[in-house]
Structure 1
Amino acid sequence: MLETRKQNNNYIVFDDSLINDNIECCFDVQFWQKSNKVIGSATGRGTTWFIQLAEIQGALRHYRRGGLLGKIISDHYFFTCWQKTRSIAEFHLLRELRDANVNVPKPIAARVKKKWGTYQADLLSEKVPDAQDLVAILQQRSLTADEYSAIAKQIKKMHQAQVNHTDLNIHNILLDKQGKVWLIDFDKCYQQSGEKWKEKNLQRLLRSFNKELNKRQIKWQMRDWDLLIQSY
């Protein structure tokens, strides 16, 4: 069940079927380290910490800015209302997508800490087990027609839910050992009416394939894109 806690300038939303103890501490990596629950990490714009929870593994992420502004204001954002903060918005969007049968990580808990007119944000979501992104896989082997079809079907479901993935690229598409396709990283994504933006999503994904083809010599060619589009 979804629960919300608001105290002073802190706002937390969480799924009590996945986590219900030490909610205020669960966004502090030192808490998990002291409990010997940290099982790994990944470094990108910041560090994502992988946590062993009672039922599933979680991925704990602190939101950080990129670009030039990020060098000046690394992790503070302008506050307008709780529901429009980045972690709370992503938490609820993941729930919407799961309700639409899109394979996305389970949202576990999100927190916003407000100070004056700015806020900091954290998200604890499911770590997809035994999965790699398409970049890692395509550096080793080509994908099958069935795998491209499965990717297309997940993107189609996302679009039918009217969700605009503003950063749809092959780093944000995972394939697990059972052949299941997952879509991840919905920061700054949103639901949008209409149809034209869906083609822009697909073109962004195509640019990502071409970029990694040139950068990492992935095992991909244009006829693979045709397979994906035919299934979409």
Structure 2
Amino acid sequence: MAHPSQLGFQDAASPVMEELLHFHDHALMIVFLISTLVLYIIVAMVSTKLTNKYILDSQEIEIIWTVLPAIILILIALPSLRILYLMDELNSPLLTIKAVGHQWYWSYEYTDYEDLGFDAYMIPTQDLTPGQFRLLEADHRMVIPVESPIRVLVSADDVLHSWSVPALGVKMDAVPGRLNQTAFIASRPGVFYGQCSEICGANHSFMPIVVEAVPLEHFENWSSRMLEDPSL
């Protein structure tokens, strides 16, 4: 869960998000070292009026500033390609959920069940109870079993939307007439919040996403209750 004045990412709740955090730290360290070196060179050049005649024309320096950036880019690209592969990997999902974006709410359909689906609207501020979060709570949560591969099919009914849950490392565009898919594994129980990440109209900021990860037996109990009474 994000908190005020937060500068970093949310705590990881999936293996992919953990990899993204590691990659962020890796790339940030490289950028920090490069920035420090460039700043040192600029300060050194500005603070002296002397000129080194040996660096006005140096083939060795030209080789270094050509080869070194190429090596740095490779060091950044290789971990990035690995994460891209992990994000596209989808092996035998335990559960498939279809998420459809509307102006301005989400609808969910559990395709492994014959009749399990619901719409999720934002809870208005005046209806919130103590402990709930403004603009982030929905009247229905997308409940999933923890430590299980989940596939989400994402589409839209009207305009472009984007289904995004930062703690799970998931962001997928919802395009009308097109079915995109993404997958994740919730590594720990909890409630994870997201929002539509594609400007979709006047109430774009009022269509939150709430994912609740629970143990498998709790999920089975929840699905049984929903099948008996969809209004829950």
Bigger-Rg structure (1/2): 2
Give the TM-score, by structure 2 length.
Answer: 0.24
Give the TM-score, by structure 1 length.
Answer: 0.24
* Bigger relative CO (Cα 8 Å, ≥ 6 apart): 2
